Amino acid sequence: MSAESFEYAVVGGGIQGLSAAYELAKIGRSVVLLEERYLGSGSTGRGFGGIRTLHGDESYVRVAVKSMSMWRKLSQELRYNLMLRKAGYLFLLYTREEEERMEENIKMARRYGVKARFIDPSELNTPYLDLSEVAAVVEHPEALVALPFSVVWGYWRGISRLGGAVKTWEKVVDIEVDGGFKLKTTRGAYRADVVIIAAGSGSIELLKKLGVELPLAVVKKEAVVTESLKPFLKPLIVTPKIAVVQSARGEVLADYYAEDIPTTPEDLSATHYMASFVAKYLIKLIPKLALVNVIRQWAGHYVSTPDLKPAIGDVGENLWVSVGWRSGGFMMGPAVGKLLAESAVRGKLLSELESFSPYRFKR
């Protein structure tokens, strides 16, 4: 079987892989993106599309600020409506410990121009929220929400317009190092000088085939969505237990993330137990939803590292990876894709990503 040849092969059709492939095509590089299912079928398409710059880790904030700048211009650049809206975030805090931690986060983030402030719960014009046990509220007004699949399609169109190749329903079943790389898929074979693996939980198996072992754990997260309601919830609300947002179609989406539930890359089963758990916290937060129907639920994966920071960088000669983003991969996607593509072209990890280098696990 003859193999098509490219300078770069990107494995993974979520925002991380799509962004990297787009940036490579943008500078005239020959690139193919390989996705085992449909674009956005992994973590990208299973999240809520929240985009913020307020984080607890300084290296995250630096990348998030760059990414936010790119998000604001991305619809125009990709020539596609990403359904981007300025929703803002509200962080609801219930203990003094949570307040102190958030105070430190805000102080650090403000050095990079991030807008966030404490407000008294009484200032909120949110009669639908039960704030009886809330000690403090943090407003992060510059945060955005995008429709994940619009972003996926925008990047796909951009890659195609720039001459890149996007192959869906082609699972990479083997990678060989052979004067470059030979990637065997379920439908063909490809050669590439450089490989970027950004396949979420699927990255673990592919890296093992190349003799690369990273301390990655797969964690399952589940979400529920209600029937459509008249718009009433503008910001994305985050509590220590759940995150809640209302979609452009009026559905209320909620997920529970207070603890990690270890799983395998194959397990995408949604459970009644978790749906009832999310519903309990959702009703306590927004009592008016008690009589609203849940119309569906789903599960997705986070990939996590021991220090809860992603692994981005080279893991071998001309072999690059971006994995372990937990819930931050979508919002960081534009900046990370650009920085990773530039790193791969230069053959050296850019300084903005150095704190995420996989080599930190070997120290």
CATH number of the structural domain spanning residue 195: 3.50.50.60
Same domain, 116 and 137: yes
Q: Are residues 120 and 221 in the same domain?
A: yes
Whether residue 176 lies inside any domain: the answer is yes
Closest by CA to 317, choosing from 151, 156, 195, is: 195
Q: Give pLDDT, residue 363.
A: 58
User: What are the residues whose beta carbons fall under 8 Å from the beta carbon of 221, sequence distance 6 or more?
Assistant: 46, 255, 256, 257, 261, 299, 300, 301, 302, 327
Contact 343, 315 (CB under 8 A): no
**pLDDT at residue 1, as a whole number:** 58
Domain membership flag for residue 277: yes
Which domain covers residue 96, as residue numbers? 60-143+217-304
- pTM for the model stands at 0.95
So what's the pLDDT on residue 303? 92
pLDDT in tens, 44-91: 999 999 999 999 999 999 999 999 999 999 999 999 999 999 999 999
Give the separation between CA 37 and CA 12, rounded to whole angstroms.
Answer: 9
195-214 per-position pLDDT tens digit: 999 999 999 999 999 999 99
Enter the tokens of residue 249: 């179609």
pLDDT at 101: 97
Q: At what angle do helices 58-78 and 329-346 cross, to 10 degrees?
A: 90
| Pair 159, 18: CB distance under 8 Å | yes
Examine the domain organization and report whether 318 and 356 are in the same domain: yes
The model's pLDDT over 313-342, given as tens digits with 9 standing for 90+, comes to 999 999 999 999 988 899 999 999 999 999
Does residue 55 sit within a domain?
Answer: no
Residue with tokens 């807008």: 115
Pair (84, 133) in one structural domain: yes
Judge if 296 and 312 occupy the same domain. no
Whichever domain contains 273, its CATH number is 3.30.9.10
Using the structure block, give the residue that is written with the tokens 């937990």: 326
| pLDDT score recorded for residue 258 | 58
> What DSSP string runs through 129-165?
S--TT--EEEEETT-EE--HHHHHHHHHHHHHHTT-E
**pLDDT bucket at 271, cuts 50 / 70 / 90:** confident
